[in-house]
Amino acid sequence: MESIQRLFGSVVLGISFVVASGAASAQDPVVVNAKTIHVKLENDRVRVLEATLPPGAREQVHSHPAHVIYVLAGGRIRNYAADGKLTEAVLKAGDVIYRDPLTHSAENIGDTPLHLILVELKKQD
């Protein structure tokens, strides 16, 4: 009986890990928006992402830690925040924007591709 309980405990622990890992990765912009967002560099301090969003494209919901955005090619963007708040902005090439951690999706509502570099900041001990 004890070996069955240990086996059951191991199975539950394994399933919990898979479910928790899936939930975390489901929010990762690189995972849920693999066609438009790519990792350029990652180390223990930052993760640098390159994002290209074609006109009319809308991302899947994802999360970012605190991050900086550098706009390579701008345009019009609509942001859908996790709390339901909707905002629109015009991004210009050369703009630099700091953002606190957030969960959102974005949509290119302009007629040109948006091209961004995002530098996600990792917590330091």
pLDDT in tens, 72-83: 999 999 999 999
CB 104 within 8 A of CB 66: no
Going 47 to 50 to 55 to 60, the CA torsion angle's sign is negative
- Looking at residues 23-46, what average pLDDT do you find? 88
- Looking at residues 9-13, what average pLDDT do you find? 41
121 three-state secondary structure:
strand
Residue 1 has pLDDT above 60, yes or no: no
- Looking at residues 91-113, what average pLDDT do you find? 97
Q: How far is Cα 108 from Cα 60, in angstroms, rounded to an integer? A: 13
Residue 100 confidence (pLDDT): 96
Q: Give the CATH number for residue 47.
A: 2.60.120.10
- Looking at residues 34-45, what average pLDDT do you find? 97
CB 87 within 8 A of CB 50: no
Residues in the chain: 125
- Looking at residues 9-35, what average pLDDT do you find? 58
36 three-state secondary structure:
coil
Residue 20 confidence (pLDDT): 38
Record the pTM: 0.77
Average pLDDT across the chain, whole number: 85
Q: What is the token pair recorded at 110?
A: 């302009």
Structural domain span for residue 66: 2-121
Structural domains counted in the chain: 1
Give me the residue label for tokens 């019009």: 76
